[in-house]
Structure 1
Amino acid sequence: MLYQPIARFARMLLRGFGKFEIIGAEKLPKEGGYVITCTHRGWMDVVALGTSILPAEVHFMAKKELFSKKIADKFLRDINAFPVDRENPGPSSLKVPIQLLKQGKTIGIFPSGTRTSEDVPLKRGAVTIANLAKVPIVPAAYSGPKGLKDLLRGEKTRIVIGDPIPTAGGEPSQGKKDLGELTDRLALAMSNLEAGVASLD
Structure 2
Amino acid sequence: MVYYLAGYLLKIFLSLFGFLKVYQKENLPKDGYVIACTHTGWVDILWLGVSILPTKINYMAKKELFESTFLKWLMENLNAFPVDRENPGPSSIKTPMRLIKEGKIVGIFPSGTRTSEDVPLKRGAVTIASYAKAPIVPAAYVGPNNFKELFNWQRPKIIFGKPIHLNKDLPKKEALDVMMTELNEAMKTLQQKLR
TM-score (norm 1): 0.92
Q: What value does the CA root-mean-square deviation take over the aligned residues?
A: 1.6
The answer to which of 99-108 and 142-151 deviates more is: 142-151
Give the corresponding residue for 2:22.
Answer: 22
- State the partner residue of 1:37: 36
Q: CA deviation at 1:174?
A: 5.5
Q: Secondary structure at the match of 1:18?
A: coil
Aligned to 1:101: 100
CA deviation string 1:86-129 (max 9, x = no partner)? 11113221011000000000000000001112221111110110
Distance change (3 Å), C-alpha of 1:167 and 1:175: closer
Which residues of structure 2 form unaligned runs of 5+?
none
Amino acid at match of 2:103: G
Q: CA deviation at 1:168?
A: 4.3
Alignment of 1:177 with 2:174, yes or no, is: yes
Structure 1 outlier segments of 4+, above 4 Å: none
Structure 1: stretches of 5+ with no match in the other structure = none
Q: CA deviation at 1:148?
A: 2.1
CA separation of 1:116/1:35 partners in 2, compared to 1, >3 Å: closer, same or farther?
A: same
The equivalent of 1:5 in structure 2 is: 5
What is the aligned partner in structure 1 of residue 121 from structure 2? 122
Matches within 5 A, 1:98-177: 98-168=97-167, 175-177=172-174
Local SS of the residue matching 1:17:
coil
Question: Structure 1 pair 110/11, CA: closer, same or farther in 2 (3 Å)?
Answer: same
Hey, what's the Cα distance between the residues in 2 that align with 1:13 and 1:75? 17
C-alpha contact 1:44 1:146 (8 A) present in aligned 2: yes
2:155 corresponds to which letter in structure 1?
Answer: K
How far residue 20 of structure 1 moved from its aligned partner, in angstroms, is 1.0
**Deviations, residues 51-72 of structure 1 (Å, cap 9, x unaligned):** 1111000000001111111221
Question: In the alignment, is the contact (CA less than 8 A) between 1:39 and 1:112 conserved in 2?
Answer: yes
Post-superposition offset of 1:7: 1.2
In 2, Cα distance between the equivalents of 1:154 and 1:13?
Answer: 13
Alpha-carbon deviations, 1:133-157, whole Å to 9, x = none? 1111000000101112222331101
How many correspondences in the alignment? 195
Give the share of equivalent positions with the same residue, in percent: 50
- 1:58-69 aligned within 5 A: 58-69=57-68
